[in-house]
Amino acid sequence: MDKTVNQKAWFLVLPVFLVVAFSAVLPLMTVVNYSMQDTFGNNQFFWNGVGWFKELLDPSTDLGGRFLASLGRNLFFSLVILAIEVPLGIVVALSMPREGWTVAACLVILALPLLIPWNVVGTIWQIFGRPDIGLLGYVLNAMGFDYNYVANEFDAWVTVIVMDVWHWTSLVALLCYAGLKSIPEAYYQAAQIDGASRWAVFKAIQLPKMNRVLLIAVLLRFMDSFMIYTEPFVVTGGGPGNSTTFVSIELVKIALGQFDLGKAAALSLVYNLIILIVCWIFYTVMTNAGVERKVQASSEPAVEPKPSAALKPVPALEPREGVA
């Protein structure tokens, strides 16, 4: 593999570099610039150094208090929906049919919530939960529950969580279903012969084989729920009080409501950093899970020679045809 050196190749990178510069690097740098300054309008800016960042991480200040509180709410929200959606998604995937026309029907039904735009989902649940005209709110109140997501913090949380579960469990279920479908029939037959119970089949075959897709599902759902904005904003507007104000809602309030560009810029940078770090951790864990296995396999003495050749299925040797 000889590499020829040709500096002109840099020109080929130039278009991409320009696009990325204008679409990502420059806006990001603008945000970095804002985060170091304060403004009182009129396009007048004053240098503030790392002041906003210090405030952000200090709960005793107004900015820090709001940021850390919303961050806490956001993390709690993500944990709750993961704790519900992942097991529920697995259960749904396990109870789906494995063949026949019902498969297609199930897939379509599962995909429906995923196809609805975020703010429409918010609107649906906003109306659905209203005690005066919403089906859910009206029925709950008629049954004697004092349900009102506008006035009651607990009700607001339940509504937002149920809405997210309704919207996104399908994604986890579809991923798990794909993982389940890739398990060869022989595994189930072998388990049957080995006398495995339903639970043992799940533990010994299905769960380990879904390992990979589950990691992806957790990553996607964590990231999405950690960045959630539209649905809770449409349903509760972050209320009652600040009880369902997540980081992104807080960010919009500061940036567009109060027009505190410096504070908002600092907050969005820290927010961004958290997401990047969590993504990186997930990515490392996922890739390492595979790599570590390979490294260990090659460093240990192989049980028998020629593992690579033996792994390939040998094409069936057909007996010769016709009479000699």
**Residue numbers of the site for another protein (CB under 8 A)?**
184, 186-187, 189-190, 192-197, 200, 203-205, 208-209, 293, 296-297, 300, 302-304, 306-307, 309-314, 316-320, 323-324
Q: Of the candidates 74, 54, 51, 49, which has an alpha carbon nearest to the alpha carbon of residue 64?
A: 54
Instruction: Tell the smallest beta-carbon distance from residue 189 to another protein (Å).
Output: 5
For another protein, give the closer residue by CB, 1 or 314: 314
Instruction: Tell the smallest beta-carbon distance from residue 212 to another protein (Å).
Output: 11
Report how far apart, in Å, the C-alpha atoms of 209 and of each of 104, 159, 171, 176 are. Answer: 23, 34, 18, 10
3-class secondary-structure state, position 272: helix
For another protein, give the closer residue by CB, 44 or 308: 308
Longest dimension (CA), the chain: 98
Distance between start and end Cα atoms, the chain:
50
Instruction: Tell the smallest beta-carbon distance from residue 82 to another protein (Å).
Output: 22
Instruction: Tell the smallest beta-carbon distance from residue 215 to another protein (Å).
Output: 15
Instruction: Tell the smallest beta-carbon distance from residue 100 to another protein (Å).
Output: 15
For another protein, give the closer residue by CB, 146 or 194: 194
Instruction: Tell the smallest beta-carbon distance from residue 69 to another protein (Å).
Output: 41
CB atoms within 10 A of CB 115: 9
Give residue 236's Cα distance to chain centre: 22
For another protein, give the closer residue by CB, 143 or 311: 311
Give residue 301's Cα distance to chain centre: 40
Instruction: Tell the smallest beta-carbon distance from residue 135 to another protein (Å).
Output: 45
Contact (Cβ atoms closer than 8 angstroms) between residue 142 and residue 62 = no
For another protein, give the closer residue by CB, 72 or 290: 290
Q: Would you give the DSSP letter of residue 240?
A: S
For another protein, give the closer residue by CB, 201 or 220: 201
For another protein, give the closer residue by CB, 29 or 198: 198
Please give the structure tokens belonging to residue 47.
């240098």
For another protein, give the closer residue by CB, 3 or 320: 320
DSSP secondary structure string, 40-67? -STT-EEE-TTHHHHHHT-TTSHHHHHH
Instruction: Tell the smallest beta-carbon distance from residue 218 to another protein (Å).
Output: 18
Place of tokens 């390992």: 211
H/E run at residue 141: helix 135-142
Burial 257-294 (b: 16+ CB within 10 A, else e): eeebbbbbbbbbbbbeeeeeeeeeebeeebeeeeeeee
Give every CB contact of residue 152 below 8 A, 6+ residues apart in sequence: 146, 240
H/E run at residue 37: strand 37-39
